[in-house]
Amino acid sequence: MQKLGEFKLPHFFNYPPYFTLQPVREAREKQVQLWKELILDYCRTQKIFVIGLEEEFPLFSNSVIERTLSHEAREAFLSALVSEGHAEWLDKGHRKCLILWHRIQDWAEIILNFVKDNGFEHSVMTVEEIRSGIESRGTELHGIDRMILMRALKLLQQKGKLAIFKGTSADDEGVKFSV
């Protein structure tokens, strides 16, 4: 089985037809499903939050079989993730895609569980502490994309679970939990 660093690639990754958009509907549906799962799994394990369509991305080419996904195929696979709520285009030209292996509401739930599991129910933390503090090490929150974290925090604020305090800079924004 081929690997990309420590990440084990699925068998289809060495099958050349999967690097070309399939013309037959049933084959394309299977192909799109496999690619969606691969992209989400890879991004989750590697903590990748943004994919640039025109930038180098390890999954989009396979030197072993000398195949590379076309721009059309890349956009088709990412658009399929967008349609399911697992990604969002960051620009109108569809050049950058935010990958959401957890939807925003799921990230919000992960934050609540983190708060409860660590006894932070009525505590104040900075946004940076949640993203990169000692308490978040070893959790899915460690290294989370700031945009995703802020959207999840704002969702929790709307639900009355916390209050976000603005600091003098983005680095010292605070969160008061009231779970």
What is the token pair recorded at 46?
A: 């590697």
| 13 shares its domain with 84 | yes
| 131 shares its domain with 62 | no
| 60 shares its domain with 116 | no
Confidence of residue 5 (pLDDT cuts 50, 70, 90): confident
| 128 shares its domain with 109 | yes
The predicted structure's pLDDT at residue 1: 59
Final residue of a structural domain among 52, 69, 99? 99
The predicted structure's pLDDT at residue 2: 77
- pTM, two decimals, is 0.88
Read off the pLDDT of residues 119-176 as tens digits, 9 standing for 90 and up: 999 999 999 999 999 999 999 999 999 999 999 999 999 999 999 998 777 667 899 9
The domain of 47 spans 3-99
Residue 152's CATH number: 1.10.10.10
The predicted structure's pLDDT at residue 98: 97
User: What is the enclosing helix (H) or strand (E) of 106?
Assistant: helix 104-117
The predicted structure's pLDDT at residue 6: 86
Domain total in the chain: 2
| 94 shares its domain with 112 | no
Residue 34's CATH number: 1.10.10.570
- Per-residue pLDDT for 3 more than 90? no
| 20 shares its domain with 95 | yes
3-state DSSP call for residue 8?
A: strand
| 85 shares its domain with 131 | no
Final residue of a structural domain among 36, 68, 99? 99
| 83 shares its domain with 168 | no
Read off the pLDDT of residues 42-75 as tens digits, 9 standing for 90 and up: 999 999 999 999 999 999 999 999 999 999 999 9
- Can you say whether residue 57 is alpha, beta or left, with left for phi > 0 and alpha for psi between -120 and 50 degrees? beta
Final residue of a structural domain among 53, 82, 99? 99
